[in-house]
Structure 1
Amino acid sequence: MLTAARLGASALAGLLLAAGAAAPALADTPAPSPVTPPAALYGKGDPTYDGVWRQSLALTALAAAKVVPADSAVSWLTGQQCADGGWPSFRADTSAACDAKTEDSNATAVAVQALVALGGHQDAVTKGVGWLKANQNADGTWAYNPGSPGDADSTGLAISALTAAHTDPAQVAKAGRTAWDGLAAFQLGCAAPAAERGGFVYQPAADAKANGLASGQASLATAGGALPVTTTDRTDAAPAAQACADGAATAVPHAQSAEAASAYLVGQLNANGQHLMLATPGAEPAPDLNATSWAVLSLVKAGHPHQAAGAADWLAGNGYSWAAKGKNGTDPAAAATLLLVARAAKLDPYNFGGTNLVQLLADSGPKPAALPSAAASAASANPDGTEAPGSGITDGEDNGGFSPIWLVGTGLVVGIGGGLMISLNRRRQAAAAAGTPAKDDGQQ
């Protein structure tokens, strides 16, 4: 889901293809009037399609950075939860009952992770986990909205939410199919070309290829990860690809899933200058900052921070425009995702390629209730700042030596492509909920 996410997110090849196919139907559906975001929400853009997603990522990232968010920001997120435990992408009128068809597994998954990270919200977390269990498909997967075919992104995010809430995915099942069984259906094994093995497709199809964002989000789940990502396990060795005998179409066993996925991601990063690529129909492939971010998070969780380091550095050098120069200024989902990357990769979030990510994200929403101790000390001379000693500034002139003009151009290409896909997907979900025919589901 992404503004970053919707992102996540959200930017997928499968999503791109689905959105492209659905565009004619959407053209007949009038776009809703833009919604002015409430003061408690991070970001200045219309929250209709990503409000819960971006709020959840922002709260998770700030909590990980030891920033205590405003009570209003947390209350806004908990107030979006429906009576049955799920979250929609956004609901303007929380006094009205939710439409179950518009509840969103991606929003629910990241909201659960945010509330676990914040602490003190066990009732809401329990209800959210209950909603995920109730809306698991019979094949063990999750769809973006209930009743649709499952996809790798939604299934991966749901599993990460279960993990965050200390719920064993192996014990969450429908019709005898566990969450791990559902996720395994999207991972390419020995029947795929060598370069694709270990990657995850968005949805199974005869000629489906591994997708960067699907692989990053699903890989984090199969590595036993949730947001925020931390790990004490590491190895300097490259991840091991699945061993395949000649002619064998062996699927990836669960015990080897994280390693095989990591091998795929490392291969793609190495082939593309330490970033993943976004292929938008009708446009030249462009760097995909969101997918690259999730790849870093999953590699760190899988015990391969050394192999993730190059991509983390690339994001530090190229992430400013994506996070700070969107249509509506700061994109809180993008800024939060980069802040999570900086923390996982053990880079300085106060000087991430010249950008103070903590201040950038905090400034995009209501004033924090408290700053981390180091930042609070520095802020005594600058009450509006969150600079810690050695922090950088939120200035695109200092981005790892890359040209700001190039950065802005790249950010616009990726932002326009990702934003269009997010908007198309969420509009398609809304149209489907209203009874307008829509194509297969996709992630923000």
Structure 2
Amino acid sequence: MPLRRRAATVLAAATALTALTAPAALATAPPAGLYGSGDPTYDGVWRQSYALLALHTEGVTPAASAVTWLAGQQCADGGFASYRADTAKSCAPATEDTNATGIAVQALTALGGQSAVVGKATAWLKQVQNSDGGWSYNPKGASDPDSTAVVLGAFAAAGTDPRSVRAASGKTPYDALHGFQSGCSAKTADRGAFTYPMNGKRAVNAKATADAVRASQGASFVVAAPGADAPATAPACSGSGADPYTALTPKASGTAGAAWLTAQLTAGGHHLTAVTPGADKPTPDYGTTADAVVALAAGGQQSAAKATWTWLAANSAAWAHGNPAALAQLVLAAHATGADPRHAGGADLVQQLTNLGPAPAAASAPATPSSSTAPKDHHKSGGSGATTWIIVAVVFVASVGFGILLSTRKRRQL
């Protein structure tokens, strides 16, 4: 069962416990340049990329050691693994994953000066694209919406129109995402939502929906606040004739998903919830809620995004404390609504994130990302621009007799 970026029931347990316990620390000092002191085995590249991307967006120039660490994690063939403890050793192909590679592309493209690394990484991603146009977490697996969304965002950030990234079958990443959307044949309450494949079945999932909504708008993890409020609408199902969902353009597909997402947020009091294994009632799903903010902003749903951000700013401090990926996600959610992450519910999220890594080289004006809703038609590897997030490392602490789930937004293949 894959544990990257989602599994909403496990995520909620992780986020609840994160409020009570810090991520598992390394027995030795963390590698030089790495953000966070927790064990990077499952999320090193992910959290580093997320941190660098968020800080760059807010005008913080990271230390050279932080960028060097990330670039140095690349494997010889261009892919990235979750973490390489010894970069002198060759990568086993089975350890490379599309999520680590996709987010590294976004971060290194935004920072600039890494065109060779980015070029090799995007070439690798093209090589492991599935025939349906999407990607799995590890190559050769079945496509999933989360992984496809991360990679689509990587190409968009690097200046390559995702519509031009075609499998041998001619399918694009947008084709793959659209295939996960629930249409008129689904229950009324599920229409517009995106599903996640697990154990041979597909189930409606808020995390998959948030990721797919953002990516369907052609957006990476960095989304500029929309200037106007666009309604989130979904097709009407007549009960006879062709299913209108099948003919949706990528943007219209994302807008229909946003309508479902907005309904869920409204019903939940501007946040999403999940029921953890063994629990009797749902608890807040902070990570997916932050994903939803960025997704809604990507489609122009400004009011819903701002209302959701307001809830996050007031309630997510304990969840994000000491967690580079969580803090970075909140910074980017604030950015997507035009809010100031340095004054989020009385907290300075940028400074908290900065404190978890090497001292920055300098400060500059906040970055202005390229349009998140209109991918460029030209191709390049080192342009500017830029979730996630990846979720869940499971750490069992035998010495105290219970397991602690850590919210690191990193799912592994088990």
> How far apart, CA to CA, are the structure 2 residues paired with 1:294 and 1:274?
13
One-letter identity of the residue aligned with 2:38: G
SS in 2 for 1:136: coil
SS in 2 for 1:203: strand
Alignment of 1:195 with 2:192, yes or no, is no
SS in 1 for 2:257: helix
Cα pair 2:226 2:337 within 8 Å, conserved: no
One-letter identity of the residue aligned with 1:267: A
Structure 1 or 2: larger strand share? 2
Indicate which of 327, 349, 360 corresponds to 2:352: 360
> How far apart, CA to CA, are the structure 2 residues paired with 1:421 and 1:365?
18
Indicate which of 85, 93, 112 corresponds to 2:86: 93
The aligned residue for residue 222 of structure 2 is: 228
Cα pair 2:235 2:244 within 8 Å, conserved: no
The aligned residue for residue 158 of structure 1 is: 151
User: After the TM superposition, which residues 23-422 of structure 1 pair with which residues of structure 2 at under 5 Å, given as runs?
Assistant: 37-174=30-167, 175-203=169-197, 208-235=202-229, 237-247=230-240, 249-252=243-246, 253-255=248-250, 256-283=252-279, 284-324=281-321, 330-372=322-364, 419=407, 422=410
Q: Deviations over 1:82-125 (max 9, x none)?
A: 11111100000101111111101111111001011111211111
> How far apart, CA to CA, are the structure 1 residues paired with 2:256 and 2:85?
42
> How far apart, CA to CA, are the structure 2 residues paired with 1:318 and 1:298?
20
**1:38: how far off?**
0.8
One-letter identity of the residue aligned with 2:340: D
Cα pair 1:10 1:290 within 8 Å, conserved: no
> How far apart, CA to CA, are the structure 1 residues paired with 2:284 and 2:144?
23
> How far apart, CA to CA, are the structure 2 residues paired with 1:143 and 1:35?
33
One-letter identity of the residue aligned with 1:332: P
> How far apart, CA to CA, are the structure 2 residues paired with 1:207 and 1:78?
37
Cα pair 2:162 2:218 within 8 Å, conserved: no
One-letter identity of the residue aligned with 1:81: Q
> How far apart, CA to CA, are the structure 2 residues paired with 1:141 and 1:299?
22
Cα pair 1:297 1:341 within 8 Å, conserved: yes
Cα pair 2:9 2:275 within 8 Å, conserved: no
Cα pair 1:195 1:267 within 8 Å, conserved: no
> How far apart, CA to CA, are the structure 1 residues paired with 2:28 and 2:174?
38
The aligned residue for residue 375 of structure 2 is: none
Q: Which has the higher contact order (CA 8 A, sep 6+)?
A: 2
> How far apart, CA to CA, are the structure 1 residues paired with 2:52 and 2:408?
25
Q: Deviations over 1:321-348 (max 9, x none)?
A: 1111xxxxx1000000001111111112
The aligned residue for residue 402 of structure 1 is: none
Structure 2: stretches of 5+ with no match in the other structure: 12-25, 367-402
One-letter identity of the residue aligned with 2:159: H
Length-normalised TM-score, structure 1:
0.76
> How far apart, CA to CA, are the structure 2 residues paired with 1:338 and 1:246?
41
CA, structure 1 residues 282+36, in 2 after alignment: closer, same or farther (shift >3 Å)? Answer: farther
Q: Deviations over 1:47-76 (max 9, x none)?
A: 000000000000000000000000000000
**1:280: how far off?**
2.4
Cα pair 1:11 1:418 within 8 Å, conserved: no
> How far apart, CA to CA, are the structure 1 residues paired with 2:97 and 2:10?
16
Alignment of 1:12 with 2:7, yes or no, is yes
Q: Deviations over 1:343-379 (max 9, x none)?
A: 11111211101110111000000011113469xxxxx
> How far apart, CA to CA, are the structure 2 residues paired with 1:297 and 1:278?
19
